Amino acid sequence: MKIGEFSKKSGCSIQTIRYYEREGLLLNPNRSEGNFRLYDSKALKQLEFVKHCRSLDISLNDIKRLIELKNTPEESCSSVNALIDQQLALVNKRMKELRALKAELQQMASACGSDNTIEACGIIKTLDS
């Protein structure tokens, strides 16, 4: 299939597919006579792997590492574990930050009942302090 169909099947935009190829996350596909990219179901699986990783917010660099690791199936998977643990730590950190952030925003929202002037607005006062 050509890139248009590949894009629809995978749910990735055409530009993103070409970008992933440039970045080495997808193998260089075969080309048609007229230089159009040609994909098969194997390529689709590869792209789905990448998409799944991205949905977990794993960076393109880490995905590249995972792909390399996949190509050495006989080795220990401790690096894979480490990568996921690291990702989990990142997520926990961000969640903590977001919780604090949410608390402050909520407090600010309640600091301004509704219809003040900007001068009297509790939100601006909070931000100013």
Sign of CA dihedral 85, 88, 92, 98: positive
Q: Does 35 bind DNA (CB under 7 A)?
A: yes
Unique residue bearing structure tokens 């996350």: 25
Rounded to a whole number of angstroms, the minimum distance from the CB of residue 86 to a second copy is: 10
Crossing angle of helices 78-111/60-70, nearest 10°? 160
Q: For DNA, give the closer residue by CB, 102 or 120.
A: 102
Q: Please list, residue by residue across 2-37, b when 16 or more beta carbons sit within 10 angstroms of its beta carbon and e when fewer do.
A: ebeebbeebebeeebbeebbeeebbeebeeeeeeeb
Rounded to a whole number of angstroms, the minimum distance from the CB of residue 117 to DNA is: 27
Per CB under 7 A, which of residues 38..67 are in contact with DNA? 54, 59-61
Binds 43, which of a second copy, DNA, none (CB < 5 to 8 A, cut-off by type)?
none
Question: Where on the chain is the footprint of a second copy (CB under 8 A)?
Answer: 45, 49, 52-53, 55-57, 66, 69-70, 72-78, 80-81, 84-85, 87-88, 91-92, 94-95, 98-99, 101-102, 104-106, 108-109, 112, 114-121, 123-124, 127-128
